[in-house]
């Protein structure tokens, strides 16, 4: 059992279970001399952050990552993301906010909390708060109403505190106009491109290649290698031992009804007339009037798909408003309620959601369907058998590893397991030499082997569906590769570098020849004098690549430093290994109508950004003044 827990500590459920074990040990008095110390993860101005708070925060982060990464989430990824430190930091932030809220006498009334809970859609049934659903959802997330409500009270309090802190931070029309103009101004350039690939007479000679090899031995070393012996415990080895009876299959079917139920679905298209969720009554009424006009056309028989292409402002307009099939929870509630109240062929009057007004056309309905037991039976049998085979393979591997823990040698473990060990050839960290040996994932196998010390026996490693025990036989260090073996590789790399140097030198020479009065010399003359040609770009903004030149944002930004008095950039710019001399062709400011049309959106974006930045600075300043102590023994 302990081996299973150690092997699967990347699983959030196991981490939660281990967390419970730790807490139980503390309550039982194990390590009681240090219990107080180990229950404090951190203190902020003498206010304690407890281990249980840390554990819960850590588990919430792990759950979110589990949803995001699925089976890709393992111990190595969790460690690289530094989740432990993030969990502690988030708790410190919360504690600092709690202290500041107390200073400012910010409280959350029971009525405020109640209204917040009643508004959560996840707790609503048919648009009304449902206490049974509330408890069930919390139970599914391992929370009690008491812990959730305490958390929500903190969330509401923090939101009130944030509003107080950022109150008064606004963005004026002039600032928004300047920002929009700066980021949406366009330019085009004339340019000379000097491509190192055209310098065909430049190449590395024998002396240069040899010198490169002799002076840079560290670049021409072989990769380190390993040789290991391993035992593999595969689920397929135990097939003769597994029989799944009808009762087990029937129990699984009955205990997992949602697995075998396809919810009711509708197939629909829609036409969206956008209006902001917080728009004033006049804007809402105007958008509804436009939606009603389209609705009248639809009910009079005008093709719905063509109407969507002509009038819809949603992303599905190009496909005639088609949304495909969807269940009740796939769309926002007002839209879903309307669609599921319609019959196939119906067209709805405009329906208001947070996105705007929708005209919905339901084209088909599919009732809820339950897969019969006899149909599901074979799949369930295979799933249960696979699970039991996996358990048997792991248990056999665990028995072998227990012998390792008892101090047995690998040879003794082999005898106990009654399996034939496999010896690998020497392989690198990528594991390419292991292909063809039947190893589930050679790369993962190699990575595990390289983490072991000389003569060490690994813990149980799950690779694919198999379990492995590895024993390092030999560690082979890097060795200097023979000159003849790397000569061609050096020649290619060195020649490319020499061509690049030649191209850069040629470009810089062209600018130098133009002299101090480079702005008075046309780019065409510079090109003609050096047997190059001038090319012209299309328009671009300062934050995007120049059309036709990948990875050229830096070049675009250089172009925006140019004007009529200084039309030629004074330095050679390298982009993707090529060199550019550029001159300004044209600049365009955004049209006044575009600035006016986007003003409200830009003001909202800038205001949100400024408020977030100010709030982050405010919180950082409060943390700087607080006395914060972290118990690194726990998080390390």
**Do 506 and 452 belong to one domain?**
no
Nearest to 360 by CA among 265, 263, 272: 272
Average pLDDT over every residue of 492-516:
91
Between CA 339 and CA 342, with CA 340 as vertex, the angle to 5 degrees is 70
Domain membership of residue 180 (yes or no) is: no
Do residues 10 and 16 touch, judged by C-beta distance below 8 A? no
Q: Cα(293)–Cα(271) distance, rounded to whole angstroms?
A: 12
Q: Cα(251)–Cα(247) distance, rounded to whole angstroms?
A: 6
* Res 8: pLDDT: 47
Query: Would you place residue 517 in the very low, low, confident or very high pLDDT band (cuts 50, 70, 90)?
Result: low
CA dihedral angle for residue 231, residue 235, residue 237, residue 240, rounded to 10 degrees: 160
- Whether residue 402 has pLDDT greater than 60: yes
- Whether residue 27 has pLDDT greater than 60: no
- Whether residue 25 has pLDDT greater than 50: no
- Range in 15-29, 61-75, 207-221, 533-547 with the lowest mean pLDDT: 15-29
Do residues 299 and 271 touch, judged by C-beta distance below 8 A? no
- Range in 69-83, 150-164, 378-392, 469-483 with the lowest mean pLDDT: 69-83
**Do 46 and 129 belong to one domain?**
yes
Query: Would you place residue 36 in the very low, low, confident or very high pLDDT band (cuts 50, 70, 90)?
Result: low
Strand blocks (E) in 180-336: 186-194, 225-233, 261-262, 265-274, 322-326
325, 343, 367 — which closes off a domain? 367
327, 346, 367 — which closes off a domain? 367
**Do 499 and 436 belong to one domain?**
no
Within 8 A by CB and 6+ apart from 584, the residues are 187, 189, 190, 559, 562, 563, 564, 567, 568
Confidence (pTM): 0.58
- Whether residue 66 has pLDDT greater than 50: yes
**Do 296 and 360 belong to one domain?**
yes
Domain membership of residue 250 (yes or no) is: no
* Res 237: pLDDT: 94
Query: Would you place residue 504 in the very low, low, confident or very high pLDDT band (cuts 50, 70, 90)?
Result: very high
Instruction: State phi, psi for 621 to the nearest 5 degrees.
Output: -65, -40
**Do 107 and 130 belong to one domain?**
yes
- Range in 26-35, 205-214, 228-237, 451-460 with the lowest mean pLDDT: 26-35
* Res 4: pLDDT: 41
Distances (CA, A) of 13 to 18, 62, 66, 73, 92: 9, 9, 10, 13, 25
**Do 21 and 94 belong to one domain?**
yes
- Whether residue 372 has pLDDT greater than 70: yes
- What is the maximal distance between C-alpha atoms in the chain? 92
**Do 301 and 335 belong to one domain?**
yes
Structural domain of residue 209, as residue ranges? Answer: 186-219+484-587
Do residues 224 and 476 touch, judged by C-beta distance below 8 A? yes
- Range in 3-12, 368-377, 450-459, 625-634 with the lowest mean pLDDT: 3-12
> What CATH number does the domain containing 273 carry?
3.10.50.40
Instruction: State phi, psi for 443 to the nearest 5 degrees.
Output: -65, -45
**Residue 326, strand partner residues:** 266
* Res 15: pLDDT: 43
* Res 43: pLDDT: 93
Q: Residue 269: left if φ>0, alpha if ψ -120 to 50, beta else—which one? A: beta
- Whether residue 20 has pLDDT greater than 50: no
Query: Would you place residue 22 in the very low, low, confident or very high pLDDT band (cuts 50, 70, 90)?
Result: very low
> What CATH number does the domain containing 441 carry?
3.10.50
* Res 520: pLDDT: 56
In the numeric block, which tokens belong to residue 442?
A: 């050679």
* Res 225: pLDDT: 95
**Do 491 and 558 belong to one domain?**
yes
Query: Would you place residue 9 in the very low, low, confident or very high pLDDT band (cuts 50, 70, 90)?
Result: very low
> What CATH number does the domain containing 130 carry?
1.10.4030.10
Q: Cα(170)–Cα(388) distance, rounded to whole angstroms?
A: 62
- Whether residue 407 has pLDDT greater than 70: yes
SS3 label, residue 278 = coil
**Do 392 and 357 belong to one domain?**
no
**Do 315 and 335 belong to one domain?**
yes
Number of domain units in the chain: 4
Sheet-wide strand order for 265-274: 322-326, 265-274, 356-366, 351-353
Q: Mind listing the pLDDT tens digit for each residue in 603-615?
A: 999 999 999 999 9
């Amino acid at each position: 059992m302990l081996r299973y827990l150690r092997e699967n500590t990347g699983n959030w459920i196991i981490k939660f279970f281990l967390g419970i074990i730790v807490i139980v040990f503390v309550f039982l008095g194990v390590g009681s001399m240090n219990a107080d110390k180990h229950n404090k993860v951190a203190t902020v101005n003498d206010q304690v952050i407890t281990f249980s708070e840390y554990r819960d925060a850590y588990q919430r982060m792990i759950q979110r990552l589990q949803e995001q990464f699925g089976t890709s989430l393992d111990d190595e990824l969790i460690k690289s993301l530094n989740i432990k430190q993030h969990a502690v930091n988030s708790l410190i932030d919360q504690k600092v906010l709690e202290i500041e809220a107390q200073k400012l006498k910010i409280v959350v009334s029971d009525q405020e909390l109640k209204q917040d809970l009643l508004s959560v859609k996840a707790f609503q049934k048919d648009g009304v708060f449902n206490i049974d659903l509330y408890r069930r959802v919390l139970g599914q997330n391992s929370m009690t109403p008491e812990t959730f409500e305490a958390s929500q009270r903190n969330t509401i309090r923090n939101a009130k505190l944030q509003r107080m802190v950022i109150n008064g931070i606004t963005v004026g029309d002039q600032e928004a106009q300047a920002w929009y103009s700066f980021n949406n101004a366009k330019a085009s350039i004339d340019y000379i491109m000097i491509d190192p690939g055209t310098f065909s007479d430049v190449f590395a000679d024998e002396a240069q290649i040899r010198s490169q090899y002799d002076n840079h031995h560290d670049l021409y070393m072989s990769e380190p290698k390993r040789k290991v012996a391993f035992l593999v415990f595969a689920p397929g080895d135990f097939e003769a031992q597994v029989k799944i009876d009808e009762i087990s299959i029937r129990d699984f079917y009955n205990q997992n009804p949602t697995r075998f139920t396809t919810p009711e679905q509708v197939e629909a298209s829609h036409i969206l007339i956008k209006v902001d969720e917080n728009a004033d009554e006049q804007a809402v009424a105007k958008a509804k009037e436009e939606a009603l006009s389209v609705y009248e056309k639809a009910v009079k028989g005008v093709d719905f798909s063509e109407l969507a292409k002509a009038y819809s402002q949603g992303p599905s307009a190009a496909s005639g408003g088609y949304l495909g099939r969807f269940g009740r929870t796939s769309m926002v509630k007002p839209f879903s309620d309307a669609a599921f109240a319609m019959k196939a062929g119906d067209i709805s009057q405009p329906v208001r959601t947070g996105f705007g007004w929708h005209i919905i056309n339901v084209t088909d309905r599919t009732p809820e369907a339950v897969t019969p037991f006899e149909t599901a039976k074979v799949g369930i049998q295979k799933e249960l058998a696979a699970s039991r085979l996996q358990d048997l393979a792991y248990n056999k591997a665990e028995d072998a590893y227990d012998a390792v823990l008892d101090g047995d040698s690998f040879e003794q473990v082999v005898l106990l397991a009654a399996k034939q060990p496999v010896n690998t050839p020497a392989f690198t960290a990528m594991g390419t030499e292991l292909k063809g040996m039947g190893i589930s994932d050679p790369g993962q196998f190699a990575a595990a082997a390289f983490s072991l010390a000389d003569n060490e026996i690994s813990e149980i490693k799950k690779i694919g569906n198999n379990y492995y025990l590895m024993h390092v036989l030999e560690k082979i260090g890097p060795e200097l590769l023979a000159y003849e073996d790397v000569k061609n590789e050096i020649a290619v790399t060195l020649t490319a570098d020499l061509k690049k140097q030649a191209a850069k030198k040629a470009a810089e020479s062209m600018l130098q020849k133009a002299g101090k009065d480079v702005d008075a010399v046309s780019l065409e003359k510079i090109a003609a004098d050096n047997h190059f040609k001038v090319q012209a770009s299309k328009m671009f903004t300062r934050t995007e690549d120049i059309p036709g030149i990948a990875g050229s944002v830096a070049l675009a930004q250089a172009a925006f430093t140019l004007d009529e008095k200084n039309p030629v950039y004074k330095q050679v710019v390298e982009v993707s290994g090529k060199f550019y001399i550029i001159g300004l062709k044209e600049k365009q400011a955004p049209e006044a109508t575009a600035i006016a049309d986007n003003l409200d959106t830009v003001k909202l974006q800038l205001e949100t950004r400024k408020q977030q930045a100010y709030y982050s600075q405010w919180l950082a300043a409060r943390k700087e003044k607080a006395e914060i102590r972290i118990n690194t023994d726990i998080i390390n």
